Amino acid sequence: MVKLKSNDDKEFEVEEAAVIQSEMIKNMIEDGCATSVIPLPNIDSKTLIKVIEYLNKHINMGKAAETGEEDDLKEFDEQFVNMGWEELFDVIMAANYLNIHELMELCCQSAADRLKNKSVRAVREMLKITNDLTEEEEQEIINDAPWAFEGPEIDDTVN
Amino acid sequence: MVKRIFKSLLRFDCFSIGTTSSKKYFPEEILVDVLMRFTVKSLVRFKCVSKSWKTLISDEYFKGKHRNHAKNNKKNLVSRMVVDVGIGHWDYSCCLSSPSSSAQPLQKLGCPSNHKSYVILCCCDGLSLLRCHSVCYLLWNLSTNEFSDTTGRTTTYGLGYDSISDDYKILMVASTARPPNRIKLLGWHLFMLHFIGSSEGIIHHPSILSLHLIYQMRPHGEISLPELKHRRCDFRCVVSAFDEMFCVYSTCQDDGETETLKLWVMKEYGVNETWTQLCTIRGPHLLLAKPLFTIPKYMFAEGEVLLGFCTGGFRTSKGAYELFTEYHGRKV
């Protein structure tokens, strides 16, 4: 068992087989740096619980194909990313920090799926970006490719 | 230089995301990881989000990432021109992943430039070579509607990507002797293009484009064609369909209406010994508008080859291939 500590001082025990999906922790274990609790100053407990849930489910990734559990895992993944936008952001940041490739892939794809058909206004609002383009600059981009701003798929809602 | 501006922009919370507690930032590599999954249409639109997004999306490094991601996640698009009141309308459709599935209409795209009439010659990575009239050729990026024109005089042509030079090439046959056993090639190199998108027939991997088309005419020398026993065979050259492989096909009229089409690829460009016969299709009316084009468009994962006819329509060795079952309530 490996002990992880979130930035709000909560400790979690995770099986080594699960936790080594994180390249960062795997390296720490190999280097003998994981003898006691591993502090994770960038991750809060709420996010860490989600990440551990993922790691535990994907513990036997390699075996899933043999035992026909791929569909089950796929369904889990679909459910897993069904979370709020800010929660997803936190998980992406945690996955990036812990270097969990598969989780990163899953969450970035989900983020992209949510954003790809959004209007410019919706993207700015979702990512809290301030528009610093002048009206002329913006109009120029639109005039260059008006087709990119039209279409029934473009969604102006923020969620 | 661009890189440095971009980095300095990053320091000022341009990619910030607000949370209830505090402001957080998507680091550059994560933002790239998300954005590279977008379609070109979305990327072009999102240039409007902010200065830093515009800089990032136009950045060569990002274009490379986007292109590679798209290449590894091949999605084929098919488009078809529907002529409507004298104006060509392009319809994107997707998704062609097996010889047994058919495509659904996806989106419309208008005419390139002010050319009212044109013929699609071939496509590669969403880059399309059109002929507007006898000597005017137009290279068109369907995803961004950017184009560039050039002139030439030829009857056979090919458009392909060359990984060695990271460059697209248009190959043209300068002359064919009859019976043809050698062909002389002329070609334009198109430097540093990254294109995305779609084509009539088939699109391979969407990638993103940089706008500068630099043509350079170069003789490509001669290439020997594979040997054929049948004397009444006719060779045509195509390089577009099969990634990085030079491809020709021969067509022969057998007895009566039966025709044979043999598809050859040169596995290593310029090495005559590497001519390999890819497939043979036998049947009536293969060459519909002889001696014009029956063009190998695409090879499915299982090795099945999709042929496109210049008169429209597609077929595989198994028979007709319906790409568009229905469009706006009518058959096309």
Share of chain A above pLDDT 90, in %: 42
- The average pLDDT across A119-139 equals 90
Contacts 24+ apart (CB under 8 A), A110-113: A110/A81, A111/B34, A112/B34, A112/B35, A112/B37, A112/B38, A113/B37
Residue A135's pLDDT band (boundaries 50, 70, 90)? Answer: very high
- Considering only residues A34 and B189, tell me which one the structure prediction assigns the higher pLDDT: A34
pLDDT confidence band for B267 (50 / 70 / 90): confident
B331: confidence class by pLDDT, cuts 50, 70, 90: very low
Lowest model confidence (mean pLDDT) among A74-78, A112-116, A155-159, B18-22: B18-22
Q: Helix, strand, coil % (nearest 5) of chain A?
A: 60, 10, 35
What mean pLDDT is predicted for residues A84-113? Answer: 92
What's the CA angle centered on B84, arms B81 and B87, to 5 degrees?
A: 80
Which among A92, A123, A137 is the nearest to B46, CB-wise? A123
pLDDT class for A97, splitting at 50, 70, 90? very high
- A133 to B51: CB separation less than 8 angstroms, yes or no: yes
For residues B134 and B43, which has the higher predicted lDDT (pLDDT)? B43
Which residues in B lie closer than 8 A to residue A147 (C-beta atoms)?
Answer: 41, 109-110, 145
Mean pLDDT of the A10-19 span: 90
CA angle B166, B63, B142 (to 5 degrees): 85
| pLDDT confidence tier of residue A155, bands split at 50, 70 and 90 | confident
Task: Provide the mean pLDDT of chain B.
Answer: 60
Give CA–CA dist B32/B316, Å, rounded: 39
How many whole angstroms separate alpha carbon B8 and alpha carbon B268?
45
- B16 or A68, which is more confident: A68
Minimal Cα distance from B111: which residue of A?
A147
Question: Residue A113: enclosing H or E segment and its boundaries?
Answer: helix A101-115
- Check CB contact under 8 Å for A129 and B107: no
Task: Name which residue leads in pLDDT, A32 or B113.
Answer: A32
| Probe site for chain B from A109, A113, A128 (most B CB atoms < 10 A) | A128
| Contact criterion met (CB < 8 Å) for A127 and B46 | no
Assess whether pLDDT exceeds 60 at residue B11: no
pLDDT in tens, B64-103: 787 677 666 655 555 555 444 455 555 444 444 444 444 4
Span B145-161, mean pLDDT?
64
Task: Name the pLDDT band for B203 (thresholds 50, 70, 90).
Answer: very low
To the nearest 10°, the Cα dihedral for A108, A98, A70, A30? 150
* Pick from B96, B75, B62: nearest CA to B209: B62
Higher-pLDDT residue of B233, B64: B64
Q: How many residues does chain A have?
A: 159
| Cα separation, B50 vs B15, whole angstroms | 9
**Chain A residues with beta carbon closer than 8 angstroms to that of B17:** 86, 89, 126-128
Nearest CA in chain B to A127: B17
Closest CA to A64 of A47, A77, A51: A77
Q: How far is CA B44 from the centre of its chain?
A: 20
A96 closest CB neighbour out of B15, B30, B35? B30
- Among A32-41, B128-137, B165-174, B277-286, the range with the most confident prediction by mean pLDDT is A32-41
Say yes or no: A86 contacts chain B, CB-CB below 8 A. yes
DSSP state of B178: S
User: Given this model, what pLDDT does residue A116 score?
Assistant: 86
* C-alpha to C-alpha distance for B298 and B137, rounded to whole angstroms: 23
Q: Are A115 and B2 in contact (CB under 8 A)?
A: no
Residue of A nearest to B21 (CA): A86
d(CA B139, CA B89): 17
**Residue B231, exposed/middle/buried by CB under 10 A (0-12, 13-18, 19+)?**
exposed
B291-305 b/e with 16+ CB inside 10 Å = b?
A: eebbbbbbbeeeebb
Q: Does A109 touch chain B (CB under 8 A)?
A: yes
Q: What are the structure tokens assigned to B130, written together?
A: 């059109």
In this prediction, residue A31 carries a pLDDT of 86
> Is residue A139 less than 8 Å (CB to CB) from chain B?
no
Could you give the angle at the alpha carbon of B161 between the alpha carbons of B155 and B165, nearest 5°?
120
DSSP A32-91: T--SSEEE-TT--HHHHHHHHHHHHHTTTHHHHHHHT-HHHHHHHHHHHT-S-HHHHHHH
Among A86, A116, A129, the residue with its CB nearest the CB of B42 is: A116
Average confidence (pLDDT) over B210-229: 52
Best of A116, A135, A156 to substitute, by most chain B Cβ atoms within 10 angstroms, is A116
Question: Taking 70 as the threshold, does the pLDDT of residue A83 lie above it?
Answer: yes
Residue B78 CA to residue B321 CA, distance in Å, equals 13
Across the interface, do B42 and A124 touch by the CB < 8 Å criterion?
no
- Give the residue from B8, B34, B65, B107 with the most A CB atoms within 10 Å of its CB, the best one to mutate: B34
The more confident residue out of B147 and B279 is B279
Q: In terms of pLDDT, which residue wins out, B295 or A58?
A: A58
User: In the 8-state DSSP scheme, what is residue B327?
Assistant: B
List helix spans (H) across chain B: 2-11, 28-35, 40-46, 51-58, 60-72
Tokens for B37, please give them: 């999954």
Residue A132 Cα, gap to closest chain B Cα (Å): 6
Question: What band does A43 get if pLDDT is binned at 50, 70 and 90?
Answer: very high
A chain contacts of residue B107, beta-carbon cutoff 8 Å: 151
Chain B residues with CB inside 8 Å of A81's CB? none
Which pTM value belongs to this model? Answer: 0.63
The answer to whether the Cβ–Cβ distance between A128 and B15 falls below 8 Å is no
> Residues of chain B with pLDDT > 70: what percent?
25
Across residues B120-133, what is the average pLDDT? 68
Smallest CA–CA distance, residue A41 to chain B, in Å, is 15
Which range (A2-11, A110-119, B221-230) has the least confidence? B221-230
Which residues in chain B have Cβ-Cβ distances shorter than 8 Å to A138?
48
List pLDDT tens digits, range B40-54.
778 888 999 999 999
- The predicted-structure confidence for B59-69, as pLDDT tens digits, reads as follows 878 877 876 77
Q: Which chain B residues contact residue A129 at CB under 8 A?
A: 14-16, 49-50, 53
Please report the pLDDT score of residue B220 as a whole number: 53
Delimit the domains of chain A by residue range: 2-115, 117-159
CB–CB contact A104 B33 (8 Å):
yes
What whole-number distance in Å separates Cα of residue B157 and Cα of residue B137? 11
Place of tokens 């809290």: A128
**How far apart (Å, rounded) are the C-alpha atoms in residues A91 and A109?**
13
CB-neighbour burial class of residue B86 (10 A; exposed 0-12, middle 13-18, buried 19+) = exposed
Domain A2-115: give its CATH superfamily.
Potassium Channel Kv1.1; Chain A (3.30.710.10)
Average pLDDT rounded to a whole number, residues B121-137: 69
**Nearest chain B Cα distance for residue A96, angstroms:** 8
Residue B212 is inside which H or E element, if any? none
| Residue B284, pLDDT score | 66
The rounded distance, in Å, linking the Cα atoms of B247 and A114 is 41
User: Do residues B200 and B246 touch, judged by C-beta distance below 8 A?
Assistant: no
Residue B221 predicted with pLDDT over 70 = no
Least confident of A61-75, A133-147, B279-293: B279-293
Q: Which residue has the higher pLDDT, B66 or B287?
A: B66
The closest CB to that of A141, out of B18, B30, B47, belongs to B47
